[in-house]
Amino acid sequence: MQGEAQEQLVEQPVAGRSVEALWTGAKAGALLVALYMSLFHVSIVRGGSMSPGIHDGDRILVDQLGPLLGSVARGDIVVLRCPLDPRYDYIKRVVALPGETVEVRHGRVWIDGFELDEPYVERQDPRSALRMVVPDDSYFVMGDNRRHSSDSREFGVVAGEQLVGVVGVRLWPLERAGALP
């Protein structure tokens, strides 16, 4: 069979295939880690403004994608840049959404005339009183430990661009690790 092209297969040694597979796996792993780190990060809580649910020293997982997609809901725990000093991050709970009327009377919260059920708040702050409409692309946030929280009652609403991420999981301490209410 002269004149016909003959195909030749070149077989790669087994060791070469293993190294290539390992290298491909390492690149894929590095890409996944980079993607994960750009969407999530671990933070350490400092202070007691979210007690009794979240304590000083707890390690939390912050989902940075939620605010970018506009998927922030009432009751979400969020990390935000402090409006008074953006060098600091705060952790608070979203109480009112854009366009809603929030009213705080004797420590209790009403949204558009309906009292908000807040089982995560241990003790209300009866000194709190205000009424406002939350502007577009802004959120009204409060700490769960109302008597010891610097929040929207003090610094006003938080612009959507100030939200760092949504917190859904506590990683540490292990005995309290898991989803947050």
Residues marked as catalytic: 49, 92
Strand order in the sheet with 114-115: 114-115, 108-111, 101-105, 129-133
Per DSSP, the three-state class of 61 is strand
Q: Are 95 and 141 in contact, with CB atoms under 8 Å apart?
A: yes
The answer to whether the Cα torsion of 165, 105, 125, 148 is positive or negative is: positive
